[in-house]
Structure 1
């Protein structure tokens, strides 16, 4: 039985008991009804995203372009997300018979030089992730000048990123709505959420996600964002600093019972810091990205109660499918059909120590589209 059904039954039984005894509080009955409605609405909303997805990708493919060279720029090789994309890029490249080169940045300050090296190789395409065009204008200008096709994973398909040839849309607004829904379910329609985020204008994808959180909380009636902590790149990339900042934020806002900390890379330092400070018994942590460590925490009760995941390998194979269409002068689909999935303690990820696979044989599907064995 779903949580919403249990709540509905509980509300009904409470109403019956009050009617028969005559001693119940009408105000209590009225206050429980909105909570039950919010939980029922939330369960209905998350239902498609807590089970294995169906294929929503393309139905046909042009012929496979021959002898192509793709460069993958890995801006944070220490992060599981970027390593997973690199692995998947090599897989997809092999399936297509293409050459794939990975160039790693030692630090974010090295990115302009690494992109210049990528351009200097004169590849047929450059793929990378989570780098909006406004973050490094010099990189954006160099890519545009090179006229090398670029497919980017994990940024918004908006005007800011219109200089990129194609964006693999990860539906950040939907991811945010699912985070909001997870907070409603976790806190029984009384979510008092704290939010960690960058200053407005710096991280459009993160802003879309946070807007999705707020939108769902408002529409469901199951909670609200009661405090926001603004951080900068220097803080978020320093494990000690982001941990200390998060602890101070939670301590300064005693009304919080849930804490959205952004992506899983941040969670990996925030959760231990909150645990050491004795705060995990008061606030439940929510994040997105679907890294293996965080999925394990959600499954095993390790301090994070929800994670919204997208299949990093699936998104990368979609990017290579997009390249093949570009090389054939075919416009890639606006929506590549890369799914997102909500994992919570009630909808746990499977056992194991890997990122979310996608729960679908997408590799076989793409190979069939490409007519490659």
Structure 2
């Protein structure tokens, strides 16, 4: 979820509170009979595979829905009127992280619309910097504090001070699940559901391959959240017997820039045309993989066809739009989530419960990106402004 190379290591290390779910994976048809069609999809002896009709039908329906860009706003349309005169402090993991910065942009926009003040304090990507930024935020005695992209356990003392001062906290990617949290105490946490992101990533492979693929999964098992996401991806892939898991590549994110190109070369040597698709828990793996694919003479538009089960940072959009070794990503609506944070604070200030809204997953490809570098759905600004006007 942390796309900036310089900040990825520090940021991902902070986000370690997650489920430790174990899941099995299935196997597909024998590798020895697999060849590649003109589209790059592996089939048994060049013939259509038996596949998984039920799973394939479900996957195609899910992907069609997730790829739509004309969906209506499904978030809240009612809530408390704007509570006036509030000030927020956004404590950023680091503003060089495009995800964190994108949400901050949304918070700024929404605060201006509702008539509040916002101050952003940059933690600069280090534990000491984040702790200092959070301490400064508490000292300022704002109406509310945003935990922007880091694990609040890192700042347990500052969280306790904020609670003692009666300052509500809202997180973005602060804990593994959306919604309120009791430990640490958060009014709510804004994120998509990891189960949904993992599921749609695997469904995209099933649908894209017509239920007959050779897949490599890239992850970092040292991070519980990433390991859980990868296991969920494997579980969903296994719903289609025609999809074969060729390899599970455990590459720690701190080592990704060095190890990924080497592993790509090895995988191409081992599996050749049998390798038709890849899923990574973060888009950054494909940034590191691209040079190795180019060196091996692989076409930028695939195969293998690669999807990132991450936030959808601008570089991922650029690779997708340019057909450069990434075919899809599962982005988060960063600006929209910033607006939601402001609305959730307004509910907290008014004594109302959280909205409970969780943004649905979206799949971006070159066909539906519109050439953009972020996912910014329509309708939410108008809906929130209507709520705040009363």
The two structures have a TM-score, normalised by structure 1, of 0.79
- Preserved CA contact (<8 Å) 2:212 2:242: yes
3-state SS of 2:346 partner: helix
Alignment of 1:33-72 (within 5 A): 33-35=50-52, 37-51=54-68, 52-72=70-90
User: Which residue of the partner structure matches residue 22 of structure 1?
Assistant: none
Per-residue displacement from partner, 1:183-213 (whole Å, max 9, x unpaired)? 123333223322222225x342x34432332
Number of aligned residue pairs = 334
User: Which residue of the partner structure matches residue 340 of structure 1?
Assistant: 361
Give the CA deviation at 1:161.
Answer: 5.5
For residue 171 of structure 2, the aligned residue among 109, 127, 152 is: 152
Does structure 1 residue 130 correspond to structure 2 residue 149? yes
Per-residue displacement from partner, 1:20-61 (whole Å, max 9, x unpaired)? xxxxxxx98997333555433321222221113332222311
Give the ranges of 4+ consecutive aligned residues of structure 1 lying more than 6 Å apart after TM superposition.
27-31
User: Which residue of the partner structure matches residue 295 of structure 1?
Assistant: 317
Per-residue displacement from partner, 1:199-241 (whole Å, max 9, x unpaired)? 25x342x3443233223212243524432233335335xxx33
User: Which residue of the partner structure matches residue 349 of structure 1?
Assistant: 369
Cα distance 1:348–1:251, how it changes in 2: closer, same or farther (>3 A)? same
RMSD: 2.9
Does structure 1 residue 260 correspond to structure 2 residue 276? no
- Preserved CA contact (<8 Å) 1:307 1:344: yes
**For 1:140 and 1:245, how far apart are their aligned partners in 2?**
39
3-state SS of 2:330 partner: strand
Cα distance 1:103–1:29, how it changes in 2: closer, same or farther (>3 A)? closer
**For 1:34 and 1:82, how far apart are their aligned partners in 2?**
40
Cα distance 1:100–1:183, how it changes in 2: closer, same or farther (>3 A)? same
- Preserved CA contact (<8 Å) 1:88 1:313: yes
> Relative contact order (alpha carbons < 8 A, sep ≥ 6): 1 or 2 greater?
2
Please identify the structure whose Cα radius of gyration is greater: 1
- Preserved CA contact (<8 Å) 1:70 1:124: yes
Mean Cα deviation higher: 186-195 or 252-261: 252-261
Question: Any unmatched runs of 5+ in structure 2?
Answer: 1-43
